Amino acid sequence: MAQSDPEDREFKFSSNLSLEEIRSDQHNFCKERNWAQFHPPRNVLLALVGEVGELSELFQWRGEVTRGLPDFSAHEKTRVGEELSDILIYLVDLAEQCEIDLPRAVKEKMVKNAEKYPVERVIGRSDKYNDYPEYLLQEAPAGEEPQPEREEGDGSE
């Protein structure tokens, strides 16, 4: 069981920049440059994946990294912020290109996550919900082992 992190401390962002503001700014950024033609969903998705790769490079070969990145230089930490920003901008752009209302989708997904991982059942556990004994089918046929419930597309197939 994972122990609570003694270095766990409160961290907050400095502003309440909205996803809609990011969407609008990025939309206008592309429109002014006549780049909307290059931003169909597939292209934006691939750009997003590329930015995840750029972020990953900053963490590559370092071994475990401590919260707050105390072993990163100021320049490296700035670069982490830049790559995180690129990821968020492309993520919001992708949501627009897919016409997904991302703020609503995020709130709905967080509700689903809370239902899937109720505190009293999962506190201190890091395994996936469908590996919990409680989630095994209750009524397996006689002589058969109960099987974990599988959710289509959850990567557990």
Residue 72 or residue 86: which is nearer to Mg ion going by CB?
86
Kindly state the smallest distance separating residue 40's Cβ from Mg ion, in Å: 20
Which among 44, 76, 75 is positioned nearest to 60, based on CA atoms? Answer: 76
Q: How far apart are CA 24 and CA 92, in angstroms?
A: 10
C-beta of 83 vs 93, nearer to Mg ion: 83
CB closest to Mg ion, residue no = 86
Q: At what angle do helices 74-97 and 19-32 cross, to 10 degrees?
A: 80
CA 64 vs. chain centroid, Å, equals: 20
- Least distance to Mg ion from the beta carbon of 130, Å? 35
- What residues line the site for Mg ion (CB under 5 A)? 51, 54, 83, 86
Quote the least distance from Cβ 90 to Mg ion, whole Å: 9
